[in-house]
Amino acid sequence: MLRAVRERDAYANLVLPALLRERGLSGRDAALATELAYGACRSLGLLDAVIAEGAGRSIEEIDGPLLDVLRLGVYQLLRTRIGAHAAVDTSVALTRAEAGAGKAGFVNAVLRRAGEKTPEQWVEALAPADPVGRLAFEYAHPVWIAQAFADALGARAAELGAVLAADDARPLVHLVARPGDITAEELALVTGGEEGRWSPYAVYLDGGDPGKLEPVREGMAAVQDEGSQLVALALTRAELHGPDGGRWLDLCAGPGGKAALLGAIASIDGFRVDAVEPAAHRAELVRKAVRDLPVDVHVADGRASGLTPGYDRILVDAPCTGLGALRRRPEARWRRTPADVRELVVLQRELLTAAWDLLRPGGVVVYSTCSPHLPETVSIVADAARRLGAEQLDTRELLPGVTDVGDGPGAQLWPHRHGTDAMFLAALRKPR
């Protein structure tokens, strides 16, 4: 899996499940493989710094296949309870089998140097001196992402260490119980999970393959972060001016999780949802997610969807850097760059403007991102409110019972406070 990520820019969470099935791994073996593979991807920056120090050369000068083995070995040494002897021995044996005795000696030497210090001692030796840089190194994040989190925390930037630690930990699996099919209480009983704290439809699982659960196989439940559930719920709770005519729109629907939850809630009142997705293969994922629900899927660019205006409620879950969901996408933090933000901000602004044009007077748009980065969140919404003459609603009121989401009018969820992805959401109402 590490090789696929390095050579082909593959997505770890897509490659690994297929490999586990192919190799026939299950139970504790699958859990260990998952921990090693995802953990090594998450910790890349820290691991590479230690490897470079131990090798006495830059990472770029080390052959890729050897680098994969070294990353796997150093991760075991510094971030698991696997014995040092076992970690070194298996890594050397793997190298000898694939690359010969000479390369095995190099790997052995580097890993033994890596094992001479504790993780804390390596942080002391290699981390930058400034506070943000040090925390970024300790919790294996690029410095620019750690700084973006600190900026979003604002006056509570002292929580940065807690945010990065939560972002660096293995997250729980979150399920959503489909309204009208099964309750969260029933889903928790069937799966052995625990009911969620914030969403009335959320259930937490400690691990395992959710795809094997009967309620998931039968379409009564799905995997969905609780923060994403709260975004969809906020749209349904926002106060409109005038009656709800039952025309709802998910303008950025792929892969379909929020559209499915909106569709299930809409069906209770006889409403309908339009779901827009520009990529045909992702639109097919939406169709599968909303099967048997009152949702119409359109393959179109949300900026020029061709839909008839007059929607009561519109969700713009905009494409973003995904900085708030890094814990669920192990390798993503090392692929994103600050340059990605500029292009995305333009797209986000255009999508929000297009949604505004499709909204009826008195209707509500909920704008959300799975990123807390200020240029993608507060700045976008403030710009839209000014340009469009939108009324900003206090989004905190749309999250009843959810504490500590900021000073308003937008709301920011955090993994260390809420156990969710770092979702941002804001609600804008169109004046009559």
Name the 3-class secondary structure at 141. Answer: coil
Strand ranges (E), 318-415: 359-369, 391-393, 411-412
User: Residue 42: which of 79, 70, 67, 73 has the closest Cα?
Assistant: 79
Residue 322 CB contacts under 8 Å (≥ 6 apart), including other chains: 329, 332, 336, 370, 371
Please give the backbone phi and psi of residue 387, each rounded to the nearest 5 degrees, phi first.
Answer: -70, -40
Q: Are 62 and 51 in contact (CB under 8 A)?
A: yes
List all residues 6 or more positions away from 430 whose beta carbon is below 8 Å from its beta carbon: 356, 359, 360, 361, 362, 363, 364, 365, 390, 391
Half-sphere exposure (CA, 13 Å, Cβ side) for 92?
A: 16
Amino acid at 338: P
Is 370 marked active-site?
yes
Closest listed residue to residue 322, CA positions, set 377, 276, 277? 377
Q: How far is CA 234 from CA 199, 237, 251, 384, 399, in A?
A: 10, 5, 16, 19, 6
- What token pair was written down for 128? 């930058």
- Which of 41, 252, 320, 370 is catalytic? The answer is 370
The token pair that represents 384 in the structure block: 């839209």
Rounded Cα distance, 29 and 85, in Å: 19
Report the relative pairing of strands 272-277 and 295-299 from DSSP bridges: parallel
Largest Cα span, the chain:
76
Contact 66, 99 (CB under 8 A): yes
Q: Do 382 and 391 contact (CB within 8 A), yes or no?
A: no
Distance CA 69, CA 2 (A): 9
Measured distance CA(253)–CA(305) in Å, rounded: 13
Catalytic center residues: 370
